[in-house]
Structure 1
């Protein structure tokens, strides 16, 4: 395909940011100055390179663009305004070609004065100030300077836009001007007034401004597009951006948090609550922006049309080139700032260090204060419940923001404080028979899943106390007086049978993880020669040598019995609707070996996740069965036979976990199966099985943005021993 010559200035004019007349072979400006013209870079771009080339060369654009799309050069030339209009509205005319970049720099200078009071975090700032609470893998760090939330007071900031601009940096790719909906002077939703002034100093008629850019020379357009690129990265909170991120959250990320909530609190109610709750709005935007950054700006289609065009809220200009991590850091800071204000006593002054505080511990302190002040009398209804639901939803999103690219060993530390949060809520609820409201329950079960999965990685006890039965009953599951879970119909609790089934299983898996943690303590006690309970320095009743060496036999048997009882009481919907024992592997030759796993698909995401976590719990119990010297096998043959039976059952349950994963279930199932695949991978032996596990883990990160490479590296290290 023939190339299109790029329309560039000579190298000297380009470096000096001067208007080049592009005279060949030497430009007239260099000749007049008495210097040798270094010449032009002869590069050619091809039309099939995509939108970047089509945007730069207007004749190749579509003739009939959507109203929201930038207007092409042909349309701009037909309706080009007069030179006086150019100078009055944009501050440049074609009679002053050498002043174009100077005017842009003046605009940047105006920008920097506006940003003296408030500015987003720059990349330089983020490299200089790396707080311990935010992951560094994605480049998300707290700003060195501070954004002011709508409720914050008294802060001073400095700025220089040239740090962001990159003028003259040939490594930055040009981007198209922002759409009019993104920079409308009235488009900021809940932003500080200073940021709205930045909008007011820009051209208000963006379609007109775009036509002006299109009518000028291509070399001038590239500089102005670069300025628009800087503006797009710096400014957050515009109407179109908030709408785009909110919709992305409701369609993609909200279902992750509604895995066991048929009422869909996070994907339905939270975006609506965000209209009047700044902390929710900013936390939604922060999580959505970070997830987009991790998938390089791509957005998977949920139920979009095949032949119809997407709506404006489904699109973001040049989404793959936007610095989503920078936007995510700024939105995270705004969310934490507003949360600090909402949970303060009204007299606290917002400080930069507030972003370093744990949002969970911040809310725990606020709830404990409310409990001591007797707020429990308003717990059943009223504004307090609504505010509590919104605050809990905010810390749920902010916690997921951190877990998205954290290593598995770090999950547990990020959740410190959730026990105090729900203990305070239970204290305010007192002895009332009703369960927690919908929003509190939805947040609770998300923390439960994150809690036991994070604790499993480090073989630690869960933050939430599994023996605090009133707490788990308040969260909506039925536990009898003997402490046994039951799947019963309770119309006073607005939970589906499937939700109760999975939530009850989550409680059982939490108990298994705590059993593993206690077994680990017992092993350490054997190595050190001290009783298990003395690991923390406590003085307890002495235990017998047999109890010390073989603890937990009764606990292990009780857990096995509870898992079996759970499985016998599950609803019909837990059964898969599709199952292929030997699926066809198109990557293998027809006469090759069979695929090692079945392919299983459940129509309900809740049920798919429930069966995966059920098999995971049973595998953990099988591999951690305590030895019983009293009733155990008495001969070597009996012990060997027992080991064979355990190996056979572990292999079966590993195939079931992998079979559901191979069936590529819904996204909300896949993001929570990373620790499960990690556990299963340690049990598998063949190279083909190992490769499938690696592909499944990396597929989660590629499709959904949740970090999995750390799990892959640990598995490969264990396989190569």
Structure 2
């Protein structure tokens, strides 16, 4: 189905033809060109988990998309109200079916479509953005704000539509199998809808409204403004003086409350639109997408009336999303993070407690964040420090090879910490980071322990008796704790594999050095098994999409072919179940294994 966005029309015309494309115009809707025949979707079935993961890819053509077998609770491609006549073939479609295709395109922006997409976002995607926010700003508050804020509303619709596009319009069941779905859970002819087009339309509407509400009221918004990063749009508004003199999060003055509320909403829009971009973007391209987050949040911090003031709930929620994406993107490119871990006022304003000795610690009573949220967010700060340690090591290596002074790459100049501010990768820094990780682990609440653990889970993809997976299967009751423990082991692996040379060469004999290498190898193997075990437990979607770089890291540490296949299956499962692109990660691993 192809849509021609040539403009809006006030006329309503319908002309049905038999062999030509038909153009429809509807009030408040773009012109739509609709072919009179749309090929059906080839259906099949899979027999095992591994077979399913290998045969299903959301990026494959629609004709090659296969349905899940009964083990995976399949969702019918069409609701009974829109069921095809049984005797009808996909190449001979009735006028009723073609009208449903046309109708679904005309629904863009309608009450039912917005309701359907908002519910899909709240049930499936919102929790991805609330991994370390038990108060659930993006799952609960953002959809409520969308009622009166068009940019938030359209951003939510854009992300939900993009997600459905990646899944070929198939919506997973979340509320049972035996009762009829609610009206807001179904969409006519969902698998035949061009969700990519709808996502692009809603993205345009969200970016346009974001430009409008952040302009001074006299500036004409250019249509090319939607090509800007959302951070540039929001940053321009923050620095324009429209936010008044200061932000006062605790104030009850209506003007102060309005400023904080608007700041939260424009940041929510920027966060959701950024996820629209990242969902199908290779990990090594994330870094430039996040290039303006540092000056944006430093500007917000400078507007706070008191140096010790905390960001409001919505600003904190946006910050921690970007901070997590920041260090994962930096790991792929071995670049410094955009957020500077040494800028302690910024991290303190985001809600974590760091003392004058630059040590993180939990606040047992009196914090607005739960202990689980504090621990998870504190770990983000620690892993960011490790990533900058790695980036500094890479800079010094390049400088040694080229004979030039170390520095940041030209494209990240001004958006990442100055190279002189990065920790020097010496023994003392490495030991301090290792000690901080161990201290974090020893002080987390008991909720970070797994509630279910099977050391040798049976391999259900094999019929032979005595077939077991090489990794444990680990389940955490809290999503926050599952993702935190995965990233904790990832951070420890990164440190182990990047010991400064003098730490390894300190032992006096060759045997001592060999023993040191064996100890490192043993610990790396243990932590790789932990990361893989949590992944095998199939945690909530937000954990799975952000474990992709972690699986790439541990996959390069594993040597067994069976282990390699499990890592590939886990990555393919993320894309098949959640629509989050992983093909680039699989290629990266396969290139590494083939060397």
The TM tier, using the shorter chain, reads 0.7 to 0.9
Instruction: Decide whether aligned partners of structure 1 residues 494 and 501 sit closer, same or farther in structure 2, where only a CA change above 3 A counts.
Output: same
Counterpart position of 1:418: 293
What are the Cα deviations for residues 431-482 of structure 1, in whole angstroms up to 9, with x where unaligned? 3433111111011100010000011000000111111101111111000001
Which of 162, 177, 185 is the matching residue for 1:306?
177
**Any unmatched runs of 5+ in structure 1?**
1-89, 93-99, 121-158, 174-209, 544-549
Instruction: Decide whether aligned partners of structure 1 residues 640 and 384 sit closer, same or farther in structure 2, where only a CA change above 3 A counts.
Output: same
What are the Cα deviations for residues 384-423 of structure 1, in whole angstroms up to 9, with x where unaligned? 0000001000000000000000001111111111111110
Counterpart position of 2:217: 346
SS of 1:520 mapped into structure 2: helix
Instruction: Decide whether aligned partners of structure 1 residues 249 and 528 sit closer, same or farther in structure 2, where only a CA change above 3 A counts.
Output: same
Task: Check if 1:374 corresponds to 2:245.
Answer: yes
SS of 1:532 mapped into structure 2: coil
Counterpart position of 1:676: 550
Counterpart position of 1:165: 34
Task: Count residues in correspondence.
Answer: 527
What are the Cα deviations for residues 116-139 of structure 1, in whole angstroms up to 9, with x where unaligned? xx754xxxxxxxxxxxxxxxxxxx
Instruction: Decide whether aligned partners of structure 1 residues 226 and 393 sit closer, same or farther in structure 2, where only a CA change above 3 A counts.
Output: same
Counterpart position of 1:611: 485
Q: Distance in 2 between matches of 1:686 and 1:105?
A: 56
Q: Report the CA distance between 1:489 and its aligned residue.
A: 2.1
Q: Which has the larger radius of gyration?
A: 1
Is 2:248–2:305's contact at 8 Å kept on the other side of the alignment? no
Of 527-536 and 475-484, more deviation after overlay is shown by: 527-536
Q: Distance in 2 between matches of 1:387 and 1:704?
A: 31
What are the Cα deviations for residues 649-691 of structure 1, in whole angstroms up to 9, with x where unaligned? 0000000000000011111111110110011101000110000
SS of 1:654 mapped into structure 2: helix
Is 2:107–2:113's contact at 8 Å kept on the other side of the alignment? no
Instruction: Decide whether aligned partners of structure 1 residues 234 and 172 sit closer, same or farther in structure 2, where only a CA change above 3 A counts.
Output: farther
Instruction: Decide whether aligned partners of structure 1 residues 401 and 101 sit closer, same or farther in structure 2, where only a CA change above 3 A counts.
Output: closer
Query: Residues 219-234 of structure 1 correspond to what in structure 2 (within 5 A)?
Result: 222-223=94-95, 225-234=97-106
Q: Distance in 1 between matches of 2:504 and 2:39?
A: 72
Q: Distance in 2 between matches of 1:171 and 1:535?
A: 48
Instruction: Decide whether aligned partners of structure 1 residues 244 and 533 sit closer, same or farther in structure 2, where only a CA change above 3 A counts.
Output: closer
Instruction: Decide whether aligned partners of structure 1 residues 502 and 648 sit closer, same or farther in structure 2, where only a CA change above 3 A counts.
Output: same
Q: Report the CA distance between 1:533 and its aligned residue.
A: 5.2
Query: Residues 34-49 of structure 1 correspond to what in structure 2 (within 5 A)?
Result: none
Which of 519, 536, 550 is the matching residue for 1:662?
536
Counterpart position of 1:274: 146
Is 1:278–1:338's contact at 8 Å kept on the other side of the alignment? yes
Is 1:371–1:427's contact at 8 Å kept on the other side of the alignment? no
Q: Distance in 1 between matches of 2:92 and 2:513?
A: 81
Query: Residues 167-566 of structure 1 correspond to what in structure 2 (within 5 A)?
Result: 167=36, 169=37, 171=39, 222-223=94-95, 225-302=97-174, 304-370=175-241, 374-376=245-247, 380=251, 381-491=256-366, 493-532=367-406, 551-566=425-440
Q: Report the CA distance between 1:632 and its aligned residue.
A: 1.1
Instruction: Decide whether aligned partners of structure 1 residues 102 and 708 sit closer, same or farther in structure 2, where only a CA change above 3 A counts.
Output: closer
Q: Distance in 1 between matches of 2:159 and 2:126?
A: 10
Q: Report the CA distance between 1:299 and its aligned residue.
A: 1.6
Counterpart position of 2:6: none
Q: Distance in 1 between matches of 2:129 and 2:178?
A: 31
SS of 1:370 mapped into structure 2: coil
Q: Distance in 1 between matches of 2:501 and 2:567?
A: 31
Q: Distance in 1 between matches of 2:462 and 2:19?
A: 58
Instruction: Decide whether aligned partners of structure 1 residues 264 and 283 sit closer, same or farther in structure 2, where only a CA change above 3 A counts.
Output: same
Query: Residues 73-222 of structure 1 correspond to what in structure 2 (within 5 A)?
Result: 101=16, 111-112=24-25, 120=30, 161=32, 164-167=33-36, 169=37, 171=39, 222=94
Q: Distance in 2 between matches of 1:562 and 1:714?
A: 31
Is 1:682–1:715's contact at 8 Å kept on the other side of the alignment? yes
Is 2:283–2:329's contact at 8 Å kept on the other side of the alignment? yes
What are the Cα deviations for residues 281-324 of structure 1, in whole angstroms up to 9, with x where unaligned? 0000000000011111122223x133221111111112111111
Q: Distance in 2 between matches of 1:559 and 1:661?
A: 25
Asked which structure has the greater RCO (Cα within 8 Å, sep 6+), the reply is 2
Which of 576, 584, 587 is the matching residue for 1:713?
587
Q: Distance in 2 between matches of 1:584 and 1:417?
A: 47
Tell me the C-alpha RMSD between the 2 structures: 3.1
TM-score by length of 2: 0.83
Instruction: Decide whether aligned partners of structure 1 residues 533 and 320 sit closer, same or farther in structure 2, where only a CA change above 3 A counts.
Output: closer
Counterpart position of 2:72: none
Of 380-389 and 649-658, more deviation after overlay is shown by: 380-389
